[in-house]
Amino acid sequence: MKIIFLFTAFLPLAACASQPPLHLGNIHPGEVRILQFQVKDPEAKLFCRDLPVRYSSNGKLARAILIETYFSDLTPYTCQQKKGDRVLESYSLKVIAKEYEAEFLKVDMKKIKLNAKDQKRADAEQLILDKIYASSNNDFFFQLPFQEPMTSFKTSIYGKKRVYNNHKKGQHLGIDYRAAIGEKVPAANRGRVVLARDLFYTGWTVLIDHGLEVFTNYGHLSKTLISEGTIVEKGDIIGLSGNTGRTSGPHLHWGVKIQGQYVDGMSLVTETEQTFKNDK
């Protein structure tokens, strides 16, 4: 009896010495997971694959959004809550390959290449976007799950590879919803409108910063209905669908960019529904 007691008493000590990471489940390239954790120290920082990841916290409970890039090389995904060099807790995700569908298009390559004027415009706009993406709010603006901006048929889903004349040219890293010109487009969640203007590729576009490097964008609009700087609530109408920019017809393009990577909006909706469902 005594021996058994001693054995169990020592067990937690042994576990402390080399605590295994908490396993958070699986993630596929292009997906999102939310890590909820107890903050072990007020100065604790979170690192994933050795890079800092910002999180939202009430001092005790914290939430961070973890993402796996579409271009993942499937290396193991581990995160550590650290104070200085000391690891307070660690977490792991299993990265599992995902084969995204391809669509084959035949096009005149001359039509794909931009002329000098268009290229100059597109480059200048990219610089503006890069600046915006680098200055996200330092906490989440939202306290509710994300919603899809439309419920209509998806004419193109996230991750579809685009093969032009049998050469893989890119991939569609957003979701296209069937929409006529002039349909109302609601914000997927609360956030600050950081851009509402006409862009070369996506035409009239609204970009919302939801905080901590979580952004959603709405492209090819016929009209924007809010101005830059406005805080919008989830469901607020931000514009009307259309066919502006480089598009073959009217639809809504919805993009989700987190920590500099385009991820699947459906994954963000599902994950935030899971995580935020028990909140008040």
Q: How far is the CB of 176 from Zn ion (least distance, A)?
A: 4
User: Which CB, 18 or 248, lies closer to Zn ion?
Assistant: 248
Phi, psi of 131 (to 5 degrees): -65, -45
User: Which CB, 35 or 256, lies closer to Zn ion?
Assistant: 256
Q: How far is the CB of 137 from Zn ion (least distance, A)?
A: 26
User: Which CB, 10 or 153, lies closer to Zn ion?
Assistant: 153
For residue 96, give every residue at least 6 positions away whose Cβ sits within 8 Å of its Cβ, in sequence order, or none: 26, 27, 28, 74
Which residues of the chain form contacts with Zn ion (CB under 5 A)? 174, 176, 253
For residue 25, give every residue at least 6 positions away whose Cβ sits within 8 Å of its Cβ, in sequence order, or none: 33, 93, 94
- CA dist., res. 215 & res. 174, Å (int): 12
Phi, psi of 194 (to 5 degrees): -105, -10
First to last CA, the chain: 48
Beta bridge partners, 204, equal: 198, 221
For Zn ion, the nearest residue by Cβ is: 253
Q: How far is the CB of 246 from Zn ion (least distance, A)?
A: 10
Give kind and range of the element (H or E) at residue 262. strand 261-263
Q: How far is the CB of 77 from Zn ion (least distance, A)?
A: 27
| Spatial contact of 251 and 176, defined as CB atoms under 8 Å apart | yes
User: Which CB, 21 or 245, lies closer to Zn ion?
Assistant: 245
Q: How far is the CB of 253 from Zn ion (least distance, A)?
A: 3
User: Which CB, 37 or 262, lies closer to Zn ion?
Assistant: 262
